[in-house]
Amino acid sequence: MDSLTEFDSFVRTRTPALLRSAYLLTGDQHLAEDLVQSALARTHRSWNRLHRTGNAEAYTRKTMYHLQVSWWRRRRVPESMPGDLPEPRGGGSVSDHAQQTSLRLTLKSALLKLSPKQRAVLVLRFFEDRTEAETADLLGVTVGTVKSQTARSLAKLRAVAPELAELYVLEGSTR
Amino acid sequence: MNDQRLRLDLADLAGEVDPVDLRDRTLRASRRLGIQRAVASSAAALVLIGAATGAAFVIRPDATGPAPLPANTPSITVAPTPTGSPSGPAPTVSPGTSGSPGDPTVKVLTGTLYYLGRTSKDAVVHAVQGGADRTVARIPLGGEPCVGNSITVSPDGQRLAWVEDADTAGFGALMTAAIDGTRKRKLATKVGCLGSRALVWMGSDRLMVRQDDGASVLMNAVTGRPVDGDRGEETDPCWSADGRFLAAMDESGPFVSGPGSRRPYHYDPPSEDADKYDGWSVRSVSMDGRYVAVGWKGTDPSRRDDSHAVVEVATSRVKTLPVNGEVKNIFFTSDELVLIRRAGRIVVLDARFEVLDEVAEARGTRGLALLAYAP
């Protein structure tokens, strides 16, 4: 397989997973696509080296998080979101589709009220299930910063969406 | 319930995203990135070289060389032409020797071009006049992207404005200063710095800013107070250099308004490029309001102007420009020139879009954002 074919294969197999993380980071399909595209483009620039060392995906993810945290994106995501959070759910079974949809909207809106860095920490810790050390490495910050940002993120989630606090015991986890 | 529930709900939310094939877009973005890096590397190397050798804004091979610089120039680069010298008296106007000697019809680029450069610590405002590139101001970046993303020069080249000390959402203090960075003043707080056109000049005294409540406010840069009047519902405002004509968009579409007139128009950008950007907006308006230069809205804060076409407002036709190659900037000046920037050169057109001249950009400013041209 030549280099371009290998890169094509990498893009097509890894894009879905990258998009899922990017969607949580941005809250928007198009912004998520932009973010993943930008990270993949940088990976492409270094493809020969990354492919040899087998670090392509780690590099792409790290780039994606750095871009998201450092970019001051022209179109702020919160501006495209509804001004108010959805009404709290009435409680009940998790299997209830309507309730699950409502919860998803609540969580999405709440996430978008966090700063990009806080969102990145939450996504890395609770979606990608990274350790504090891995999260620190990916974001280029200290473990202490990850701990404090995680605590602040969870506190802010509790503040902006109290109904989520009822669902989650949002005390963070330490690994 | 515990953290595990949060994990599950995040996974559920992430499932909302639609899978797409980003292969082609990625390769296109990679190509653009390669070009940008090459330009940036060249500019950085040349800035270093420029400290010793200077940077030329050579009008023509047979030009008489750059003008001497003002005596109070903070930093000086020496143009590498046989006759160039930074020393000597301090005239403020270039000899303007780009035209053919004896040809009275030729207008020359006698004004000052202002560019934005950066170091790791400062936003650096370059002024290029008569072939000489000098640094006129250094504004500390303060470890945040806001200053570099918002700093702008008034059309008369007399004022700087920028946003600093921004919060995580990109809103901070609106600052103004003289072009050399002195007489710094804070005019307002909670002003946005996002986007490639966070601060927009209306003439050289007024500045349109965006507040954190989403409202646009016109600030008087002289009095430091908001200008009373209807804020309007338009978006993407851009004024002619004298502030008489406004190009903007409202719910009815793009339009240009001026004294006693309001003309709607339309523009369909090239579809093969349109999907790479967030749309387009007006970047420059001619002094008579007849033409607008349109550019892409970028998806990052690179300050790239990306203006690429001129639209005649009355007919909505795209003007055929007498240049070859990729256009990077189109700039209508207050002395009724049209500057078209491409590949390290500036083609100077008159108001009828006829070529007057073509000049090489100062080496240290190639690839930098062009902020203003003051005659």
Question: Tens digit of pLDDT for each residue in B252-270?
Answer: 889 999 887 888 999 988 8
Asked if residue B273 lies in contact with residue B251, where contact means CB atoms within 8 angstroms, the answer is no
Whether A7 and A31 share a structural domain: yes
Asked if residue A67 lies in contact with residue A35, where contact means CB atoms within 8 angstroms, the answer is yes
Say whether residue B143 is in contact with chain A using an 8 A CB cutoff: no
DSSP-derived secondary structure for B243-308 = S--EEEEETTEEEEEETTEEEE------HHHHTTSS-EEEEEE-TTSSEEEEEEPPSS------EE
* Residue A38, domain member (yes or no): yes
Q: Output phi, psi for B224, to 5 deg.
A: 80, 15
Whether A100 and A49 share a structural domain: no
Question: Tens digit of pLDDT for each residue in A91-139?
Answer: 444 455 666 777 788 888 889 888 888 899 999 999 988 898 888 888 8
- The percent of residues in chain B predicted with pLDDT above 90, rounded, is 34
Query: What is the Rg, in whole angstroms, of the alpha carbon atoms belonging to chain B?
Result: 22
Asked if residue B302 lies in contact with residue B196, where contact means CB atoms within 8 angstroms, the answer is yes
Contacts of A20 in chain B (CB under 8 A): 14-15, 17
Do B1 and A38 lie within an 8 Å CB cutoff?
no
Look up residue A4 and give its DSSP letter: H
Residue A8 in this model has a pLDDT that exceeds 80: yes
Buried b (16+ CB within 10 A) or exposed e, B125-134: bbbbbbbbbb
Say what the pLDDT of residue B177 is. Answer: 95
Whether A88 and A66 share a structural domain: no
Q: Show which of A13, A42, A70 is a domain's final residue.
A: A70
* Residue A154, domain member (yes or no): yes
Q: Rounded to an integer, what distance in angstroms lies between the CA atom of residue B234 and that of residue B328?
A: 26
Of A4-8, B112-116, B183-187, least confident by mean pLDDT is A4-8
Say what the pLDDT of residue B240 is. Answer: 94
Question: In terms of CA atoms, which chain A residue is nearest residue B21?
Answer: A12
- Of B9, B16, B25, which has the smallest distance from its Cβ to A103's Cβ? B9
Contacts of A36 in chain B (CB under 8 A): 22
Count up the domains in chain A and report the number. Answer: 2
Say what the pLDDT of residue B78 is. Answer: 29
Which of B219, B154, B211, B155 minimizes the C-alpha distance to B187? Answer: B219
Look up residue A124 and give its DSSP letter: I
Do strands B206-210 and B216-220 pair parallel, antiparallel, or not at all (unpaired)? Answer: antiparallel
Say what the pLDDT of residue B139 is. Answer: 94
* Residue A172, domain member (yes or no): no
CATH of the domain at B176: 2.40.10
- ipTM, 2 decimals? 0.81
* Residue B225, domain member (yes or no): yes
Question: In terms of CA atoms, which chain B residue is nearest residue A44?
Answer: B30
Q: Show which of A70, A94, A120 is a domain's final residue.
A: A70
* Residue A94, domain member (yes or no): yes
Mean pLDDT of B223-251: 83
Count up the domains in chain B and report the number. Answer: 1
Say whether residue B195 is in contact with chain A using an 8 A CB cutoff: yes
Measured in angstroms, the CA of B1 and the nearest CA of chain A are apart by 6
Whether A64 and A93 share a structural domain: no
Domain that holds residue B187: 141-231
Do B21 and A103 lie within an 8 Å CB cutoff?
no
* Residue B308, domain member (yes or no): no
Question: In terms of CA atoms, which chain B residue is nearest residue A20?
Answer: B14
- Return the amino acid letter for A87: E
Do B278 and A74 lie within an 8 Å CB cutoff?
yes
Hey, of A18, A34, A37, which one would you mutate to test binding to chain B, going by the most B CBs within 10 A of its CB?
A37
Separation of first and last alpha carbons in chain A = 40
Whether A90 and A44 share a structural domain: no
Copy the structure tokens of residue A86: 């959805």
Question: In terms of CA atoms, which chain B residue is nearest residue A9?
Answer: B23
Would you place residue B20 in the very low, low, confident or very high pLDDT band (cuts 50, 70, 90)? Answer: confident
- Of A8, A23, A37, which has the smallest distance from its Cβ to B16's Cβ? A23
Whether A35 and A104 share a structural domain: no
Question: In terms of CA atoms, which chain A residue is nearest residue B300?
Answer: A73
Say whether residue B18 is in contact with chain A using an 8 A CB cutoff: yes
Contacts of A45 in chain B (CB under 8 A): 30, 33-34, 37
Which of A74, A25, A39 minimizes the C-alpha distance to B194? Answer: A74
Mean pLDDT of B9-33: 85
Whether A123 and A159 share a structural domain: yes
Of A72-86, A137-151, B308-322, least confident by mean pLDDT is A72-86
* Residue A77, domain member (yes or no): no
Asked if residue B114 lies in contact with residue B137, where contact means CB atoms within 8 angstroms, the answer is no
Look up residue A126 and give its DSSP letter: I
* Residue A78, domain member (yes or no): no
Burial of B154: CB neighbours in 10 Å, binned 0-12, 13-18, 19+: buried
Whether A90 and A154 share a structural domain: yes
- The percent of residues in chain A predicted with pLDDT above 90, rounded, is 15
Q: How much is the mean pLDDT over chain A?
A: 77
Query: What is the Rg, in whole angstroms, of the alpha carbon atoms belonging to chain A?
Result: 17
Measured torsion, CA atoms of residues A120, A122, A127, A129, in degrees rounded to the nearest 10: 100
Say whether residue B295 is in contact with chain A using an 8 A CB cutoff: no
Contacts of B21 in chain A (CB under 8 A): 11-12, 15
CATH of the domain at A124: 1.10.10.10
Q: Residue with structure tokens 């918002």?
A: B150
* Residue B122, domain member (yes or no): no
Asked if residue B126 lies in contact with residue B371, where contact means CB atoms within 8 angstroms, the answer is no
Say what the pLDDT of residue B52 is. Answer: 43
Q: Which residues pair with B217 in a beta bridge?
A: B209
Hey, of A72, A109, A125, A154, which one would you mutate to test binding to chain B, going by the most B CBs within 10 A of its CB?
A72
Q: Rounded to an integer, what distance in angstroms lies between the CA atom of residue A153 and that of residue A64?
A: 20
Q: How much is the mean pLDDT over chain B?
A: 77
Say what the pLDDT of residue B215 is. Answer: 79
* Residue B174, domain member (yes or no): yes
Whether A44 and A112 share a structural domain: no
Whether A8 and A64 share a structural domain: yes
Whether A163 and A135 share a structural domain: yes
Asked if residue A102 lies in contact with residue A109, where contact means CB atoms within 8 angstroms, the answer is no
Q: Show which of A12, A44, A70 is a domain's final residue.
A: A70
Query: Within chain B, what is the greatest distance between any pair of CA atoms?
Result: 86
Long-range CB contacts (< 8 A, 24+ apart) of B299-302? B299/A34, B299/A38, B299/A73, B299/A74, B300/A38, B300/A71, B300/A73, B300/A74, B301/A71, B301/A72, B301/A73, B301/A74, B301/B145, B301/B148, B301/B149, B301/B194, B301/B195, B301/B196, B302/B36, B302/B196
Measured in angstroms, the CA of B9 and the nearest CA of chain A are apart by 7
* Residue A76, domain member (yes or no): no
Tell which wins on pLDDT, B77 or A47: A47
Copy the structure tokens of residue B94: 């270039």
Tell which wins on pLDDT, A28 or B374: B374
Question: Tens digit of pLDDT for each residue in A138-173?
Answer: 888 888 889 988 988 888 888 888 877 776 654 444
Q: Output phi, psi for B20, to 5 deg.
A: -135, 160
Asked if residue B125 lies in contact with residue B173, where contact means CB atoms within 8 angstroms, the answer is no
pTM of the entire predicted model:
0.52
Q: Which residues pair with B128 in a beta bridge?
A: B113, B133
Q: Half-sphere exposure (CA, 13 Å, Cβ side) for A19?
A: 20
Question: In terms of CA atoms, which chain A residue is nearest residue B278?
Answer: A75
Domain that holds residue A154: 84-167
Q: Rounded to an integer, what distance in angstroms lies between the CA atom of residue B172 and that of residue B167?
A: 6
Measured in angstroms, the CA of B303 and the nearest CA of chain A are apart by 11
Residue B251 in this model has a pLDDT that exceeds 90: no
* Residue A174, domain member (yes or no): no
Of A137-146, B56-65, B180-189, B343-352, least confident by mean pLDDT is B56-65
Say what the pLDDT of residue B364 is. Answer: 84
Q: Rounded to an integer, what distance in angstroms lies between the CA atom of residue B125 and that of residue B118?
A: 8
Say what the pLDDT of residue A123 is. Answer: 93
Mean pLDDT of A66-72: 69
Do B3 and A168 lie within an 8 Å CB cutoff?
yes
Say what the pLDDT of residue B110 is. Answer: 83
Separation of first and last alpha carbons in chain B = 68
Would you place residue B155 in the very low, low, confident or very high pLDDT band (cuts 50, 70, 90)? Answer: very high
Look up residue B195 and give its DSSP letter: S
Q: Rounded to an integer, what distance in angstroms lies between the CA atom of residue B188 and that of residue B173?
A: 6
Question: Tens digit of pLDDT for each residue in B185-230?
Answer: 999 999 998 777 889 999 998 999 988 877 788 899 888 888 876 5
- The percent of residues in chain B predicted with pLDDT above 70, rounded, is 76
